[in-house]
Structure formats: C-alpha cells, structure tokens
Amino acid sequence: MAERQRDLPRAVHLTDPHGSQPEPDPDCLDCRSWVKVRDDARARNDYMASAAAAEELRVHMRKCQRRRAE
C-alpha cells in the first residue's frame, strides 16, 4: 500500500520583530525609562520583553497625550 503524503501547513511568516515603534515624549521620564527597557530587551534579542515594553510605552504615551490635551 502506498504511503499517503500528508499536507503540511503553510510556513509562518514573521514580521519584523521590532515592528513600528512609538516615538516617546522626550520630556517624560516614564517614556524614556520604557524606551530603555525596550532597547535593552532588543539588545538581548528578547523579543517578548521588547514587545511588552513597546506596548507599555504605547499605553503610557496615550496617558501623556491626554494629560497634554487637558
């Protein structure tokens, strides 16, 4: 009996691990500290920590923008 060839799933396409990074407010100490955490994680090739720090930076930047708009 001939062995059946199994269909393999398509290869996963990964985007740039750094993605589009937000630009922090240069006057905010919290923004600069999140950028440092993100950049340190990038240097260690720790993409999970880098992505988490980038997301925290995005959330914090929204708060900064709301504060400035008030």
Structural domain spans, the chain: 29-69
Structure tokens at 15: 């985007």
CA distance 42 to 44: 5
Q: Report pLDDT for 5.
A: 65
Helix (H) and strand (E) counts in the chain? 2, 0
Residue 38, judged by CB atoms within 10 A of its CB (0-12, 13-18, 19+), counts as buried
pLDDT at residue 2 is higher than 80: no
pLDDT tens per residue, range 28-63: 899 899 999 989 998 998 888 888 888 888 888 888
CA distance 24 to 47: 19
Q: Report pLDDT for 33.
A: 92
Instruction: Give this prediction's pTM.
Output: 0.64
Of 21-25, 38-42, 63-67, the range with the highest mean pLDDT is 38-42
